[in-house]
Amino acid sequence: MSNRVIIGGQWGDEGKGKIVDAVGEGVDWVIRYQGGANAGHTIQAGGREHVLHLLPSGVFHEKARCFLGNGMVIDPWQLRDEIVALEEQDVRVRGRLFVAASAHLILPYHRRLDELREAKLRRRNIGTTGRGIGPAYVDKAWRHGMRMGDLLLPKENLERKVIEKVLDANEALSELYKSDPLPAEVIAEELVVLAKSLGPMIVNPYEALAGVREGRESALFEGAQGTLLDFDHGTYPFVTSSNCSVGGAVTGTGLPPRCLGEVLGVFKAYCTRVGNGPFPTELLADEAECLRQLGGEYGATTGRPRRCGWFDLLAGRYAVDLNGMTGLYITKLDVLDSQAALQVAIAYELDGQRLESFPVRAELLTRCRPVYREFPGWGSATTACRRLAELPGPARRYLEFIETSLGAPIRGISVGRGRDETIWTPNGVNAA
């Protein structure tokens, strides 16, 4: 089986969790490689809905091993809670979860700094998830962070290190934000306890992933967030703090590019965004509310209402090109079932000029007005469809247009939340 990287093609929440779960049968490893608990990946398994923030969505395939790569920032309290919650539902995690010793830790001061900075920025804020992601990556880049491997230190050394870091952060909290100090010793004691339970999972990624590197074991790489939230290539500064695009799978695991295999993009049949920043095809008022209700568009991590809008071909092509996507999955087609007509942005207008390529700079994007092409709706339910031929004609034509315009074959169409509510189209939708 060829390895695959599953990447969000928009601003996150495209349905990556559902797709990773749906295609994950039989893989040896499912690997997260960037981000942290800012992700919220929703999966239906065993008759329940699960939201994973740190664990890979392959965890519901019993035989798969799960890996948290060095590119991640991991809140150990959250990790323990997620493991316990799954084990209480009879999903075995211990023994099949491995964590890179070089992944960074998110400590309570990262969350506090995230919240305080957002509050200070007021209306100019990013709208982060408040999970401490930005400050943790700052410490990593500043060579000041703690890593999962530190949890393997002798107790006294670990305690000393944590206390030193918290006291240091307390200075910043008080000087920059006039905020109360955090209890260094309590945090150190808690980490010692966490180190006991998480310690057995912490490994050297070079050794643990040797089978993947040598081609003996297969891997499914699970991206978090989406291409337009990429730290370097997204709508900066309204982005997250990691590389959500394909390069992150290399730097975030230590595996060479030849191990990646296929790069598959997940796109919603429309668009959503949580948090602030430009969103040219955004709908307002009642139209947005209609999609939000139909699609259940509330953040899986923070519960915030997601901003909703039409499919954007310029943004989509940018994501396909940037990642070298070799195939696509379109999700939530069923959410559009009752729309009388659909719009797709085929160009933008900026200062009287027509643009056909995505001007990723936030300053420009904010001023772009979409030029739409209208498609007729189909007015019938698609959730029960399992073959392309069962989809209503207008739905097929909508997908054919997206496939042709994005220039990569649609490999699957998701028409509901469940693993099976998917139409597999290995040869694309135009070839069928």
Residues interacting with ligand IMO, by CB under 6 A?
Answer: 8, 12-13, 38-41, 126-129, 131, 133-134, 224-226, 229, 240-241, 274-275, 300
Other CB atoms within 10 Å distance of the CB of residue 259 = 20
| Contact between 53 and ligand GDP per CB under 6 A | no
Tokens at 182, concatenated: 């955090």
Site for ligand GDP in 26-45 (CB under 6 A): 40-42
In whole angstroms, the minimum distance from the beta carbon of 168 to ligand GDP comes to 34
According to DSSP, the residues that pair with 73 across neighbouring strands are: 104
131 binds ligand GDP (CB under 6 A): no
Identify whether the C-beta of residue 93 lies closer than 8 Å to the C-beta of residue 60.
no
Rounded CA separation 360/339 (Å): 29
Binding site for Mg ion (CB under 5 A): 13, 40, 300
Nearer to ligand IMO, 72 or 347 (CB): 72
- Given 102, 242, 331, 339, the residue binding ligand GDP (CB under 6 A): 331
Give the active site residue among 13, 21, 75, 334. 13
Distance CA 294, CA 335 (A): 6
Of 266, 273, 303, the C-alpha closest to 413 is 266
* Residue 312 is a binding residue for ligand GDP (CB under 6 A): no
Is 13 considered catalytic here?
yes
Which is it for the CA torsion 120, 124, 130, 133, positive or negative? negative
Of 40, 9, 42, nearest in space to 226 by CA: 9
Q: For 355-393, b where at least 16 C-beta lie within 10 A, e where not — what string?
A: eeebbbebebbeebebbbeebebbeeebeebeebeebbe
Q: Report the residue from 83, 300, 342, 402 that binds ligand GDP according to the rule CB under 6 A.
A: 300
Instruction: Determine the size of the site formed for ligand GDP (CB under 6 A).
Output: 21
Residue 274: name its binding partner from ligand IMO, Mg ion, ligand GDP, none (Cβ under 5 to 8 Å by kind): ligand IMO
Binding to ligand GDP by residue 255, rule CB under 6 A? Answer: no
For 293-349, what is the HEC assignment? HHHCCECCCCCCECEEECEEHHHHHHHHHHHCCCEEEEECHHHHCCCCEEEEEEEEE
- CB-wise, 129 or 339, nearer to ligand IMO? 129
- Cβ contact 185:158 at 8 Å: no
Cβ of residue 179: shortest distance to ligand GDP, in angstroms?
31
Residue 229 binds which entry of ligand GDP, ligand IMO, Mg ion, none, with Cβ cut-offs from 5 to 8 Å by kind?
ligand IMO
- Of 111 and 317, nearer to ligand IMO (C-beta) is 111
The C-alpha angle 118, 69, 424, rounded to 5 degrees, equals 95
**For ligand IMO, the closer CB: 38 or 425:** 38
- Name the residue whose CB lies closest to ligand IMO: 275
Two structure tokens written together for 15: 């349905």
Minimum gap (Å) between residue 115 Cβ and ligand GDP: 22
| Partner touching 385 among ligand IMO, ligand GDP, Mg ion, none, CB below 5 to 8 Å by kind | none
Question: For residue 145, how far is the Cα from the chain centroid?
Answer: 23
From the list 102, 111, 49, the residue with the least C-alpha distance to 78 is 111
**Residues 411-430, interacting with ligand GDP (CB under 6 A):** 414-417
Residue 15 contacts which entry, ligand GDP, Mg ion, ligand IMO, none (Cβ below 5-8 A, type-dependent): ligand GDP
| Residue 147 site contact among Mg ion, ligand IMO, ligand GDP, none (CB < 5 to 8 Å, cut-off depends on kind) | none
State which amino acid sits at residue 432.
Answer: A
Choose the catalytic residue: 21, 41, 75, 114: 41
Q: Which range of residues in 25-33, 188-196, 317-325, 329-337 is near ligand GDP by CB under 6 A?
A: 329-337
Q: Extract the tokens encoding 404.
A: 């042709």
Query: DSSP 3-state assignment of 189?
Result: helix
**Among ligand IMO, ligand GDP, Mg ion, none, what does residue 18 contact (CB within 5–8 Å per kind)?**
ligand GDP
Contact by Cβ (8 Å): 227, 244: yes
Residues 25, 249, 327, 288: is their CA dihedral positive or negative? positive
Which residues lie near ligand GDP (CB under 6 A)?
8, 12-18, 40-42, 296, 300, 331-332, 334-335, 414-417
Catalytic residue numbers, as ranges? 13, 41
